[in-house]
Amino acid sequence: MGVGNILLKDEGIGVHIARELEKLSLPEGAKVFDGGTGGLSLIDLMKETPRVIFLDAVEMGKKPGAVMRFTLPEVKMATDKIKFSLHQVGLPEVLLLASLLGVSPEVVIFGIQPKDLGWGTGLSPELKKAVPEIVKSVLKEVYKHF
Amino acid sequence: MHNVDINIEHVTRVEGHGNIVVDVKNGKIKECQWQVVEAPRFFEAMVRGRNWDELAHITSRICGICSVGHTMASLKATEAAFGITPSEQTVRLRKILKHGENFQSHILHVGYLVLPDLAGVGSVFPLAETHKEELLTVIRLHRLSNDICDIVGGRTTHPISAVVNGFTKLPDPKALLEIKERCKSALDDLQVVASLVKSLSEKIPAFERETEYIALKSEEEYAIYDGVIASTDTGTCPVERYREIVNEYVVPQSTAKYTRHNRDSYMVGALARFNLNHEKLTPLAKKVAEDLGLKAICYNSYMNSVAQLVECVYSVEECIRLIDEILTEGLREEDRRISVKAGRGIGAVDVPRGMLIHDYTFNKDGVCVEANCVIPTNQNHGNIQKDMEALLPTIIDKPQEEIRLALEMLVRAYDPCISCSTHFLEVEFI
């Protein structure tokens, strides 16, 4: 599930990666979703699966294009800072509400360090260059379960 | 007799930015204002000089929630200018898209923005504990509504396949069948939401102020895609004469224009549509209205949210009926080619928040030279102001927090799309 806003350059990296994955043949039972800015309706999708791999731009203080794989127990989501607005439903809000509702598939997050979050529909050169390696990492994760 | 000082900067749980300012000294109202502070958007200027086949894509960006409505009004205006009548298949598909949007916008509003007030909480998060199953139902309905727009329009937001005189890509019949089955289950889900609203209905303030209601009206059906302009005060009027109805004007407290017709203000939206068209609802939608205590003519603006829920039922039933009709006729590729000419066309639809009009003028090459958009929410701002002025004296002796909540709920009941409404200001320096 690639999430993010493709109108804000690297903020949409999750969606860009999802679109690359959509071009590939994946095993039966693995589905790619462009979650975009789907917000709370993503929770209904999460109900239907035992496992979700989220792809999203994450500020990690790393080199642009760097990827980190983590699970929910390994991170502290800034959920205490949530000022809920339907215009800004990000991954922390979706995951918090999902867990409150008892919707709890196994969640893995691939965080991708963005460089440029300005207005624009393309990726920064560093992120564009990193796309093939990111796709490979995600595929490795997918095939762990098949 | 007490003092009330309320300064709500950017009311929460509405789309866009608006402030509520109330100043009461020793029981006397010094100030009571609904201020619209959203930045102007300039779409009417942006489309000048653009080609006829770009306008719907540009103007759909006026809004992310009502992008289908803007697309439809835009396409209808362009088709009217060129003298094009789209096929029955195109109209059916567009109606499914409109109903999908109506359902999507209303369920989002009632489920996420209004329910917290009725349940006495600040946002949707606490509802996960107190109303878990109902919230999961709302989320499921929200997802279905997104999928309807995705499958017919090619995208959840900003439909890409709906174009002048047709669709660039027809939906997959299998996908339509699946949507139809999910819509049938959705009717049961909507009963769950209706029961919840009914159980909380004593939280809906009993406020009444007689005003004029304006919406599209049709002989054939409860109008959201097509119709003439109708007013509860003055009867019907052709869409081409819309300026006689809207009479837009500028006020200092708002970056959006106001409108007025037979009175100082009028209301558009689900309640207006219900008041003008209720007899054309399906039996099931009528029953839901009756169960929730909604009867025409209803003058309580807070009941707009109830009218929205009734419309969800109607829109889902219409999706089922229209999908049946399309599949029985068979979907076929159609010739979308058109000839352009100089001319002016007006497209009117009734979107979730009310009557929407796009008015375009083209030159002989099909380039737009002039545009005017009349947005539902800017038609409502004046009515919100008048409602506030009428409501405040009746609750002035209550504690400040209760006054504040009542005013916020009033604004929320209109489900304003404030960003849509601040589209163009013409400033004359004298």
Q: pLDDT tens-digit profile of B266-316?
A: 999 999 999 999 999 999 999 999 999 999 999 999 999 999 999 999 999
In a domain, B27, yes or no: no
| Interchain contact A77–B (C-beta under 8 A) | no
In a domain, B37, yes or no: no
Q: For residue A79, is pLDDT > 70?
A: no
Q: pLDDT tens-digit profile of B82-127?
A: 999 999 999 999 999 999 999 999 999 999 889 998 999 888 888 9
Which tokens belong to A103? 């919707």
To the nearest whole percent, how much of chain A has pLDDT over 90? 57
Instruction: Provide, for chain B, the percentages of residues in helix, strand and coil under a 3-state DSSP scheme, each rounded to the nearest 5.
Output: 50, 15, 35
Q: For residue A68, is pLDDT > 50?
A: yes
Torsion region of B406: left, alpha or beta (phi above 0 gives left; psi -120 to 50 gives alpha): alpha
d(CA B193, CA B375): 29
B55 vs chain A: nearest CA distance in angstroms? 20
- pTM greater than the 0.95 cutoff: no
A37 vs chain B: nearest CA distance in angstroms? 10
| Interchain contact B189–A (C-beta under 8 A) | no
Q: Do residues B330 and B92 lie in contact, with contact meaning Cβ atoms separated by under 8 Å?
A: no
Quote the number of domains for chain A: 1
Other Cβ atoms within 10 Å of B270 Cβ, number: 30
Listing from the earlier edge strand, what are the strands of the sheet with B28-36?
B4-8, B18-25, B28-36
Residues 33-92 of B with CB under 8 A from A: none
Quote the number of domains for chain B: 1
Q: Are strands B4-8 and B28-36 parallel, antiparallel or unpaired?
A: unpaired
* CB < 8 Å to B108, chain A: 86
Contact B143 A45 (CB under 8 A): yes
A97 vs chain B: nearest CA distance in angstroms? 6
| Weakest-pLDDT range from A104-113, B288-297, B335-344, B409-418 | B409-418
Which residue range is the domain that position B56 belongs to?
Answer: 43-421
| Weakest-pLDDT range from A40-54, B36-50, B176-190 | B36-50
Other Cβ atoms within 10 Å of B185 Cβ, number: 13
CATH number for the domain spanning A135: value is 3.40.50.1450
In a domain, B305, yes or no: yes
Contact B128 A101 (CB under 8 A): yes
Q: Which amino acid is at B175?
A: A
- Of A41, A96, A100, nearest to B129 by CB-CB distance is A100
Which tokens belong to B326? 């399309």
CATH number for the domain spanning B275: value is 1.10.645.10
- Of A85, A86, A97, nearest to B128 by CB-CB distance is A97
ipTM of the complex: 0.76
| Interchain contact B9–A (C-beta under 8 A) | no
In a domain, B267, yes or no: yes
In a domain, B13, yes or no: no
In a domain, B7, yes or no: no
Q: pLDDT value at position B425?
A: 42
Could you tell me which residues come within 8 angstroms of residue B397 by beta carbon, excluding any fewer than 6 positions away? B2, B27
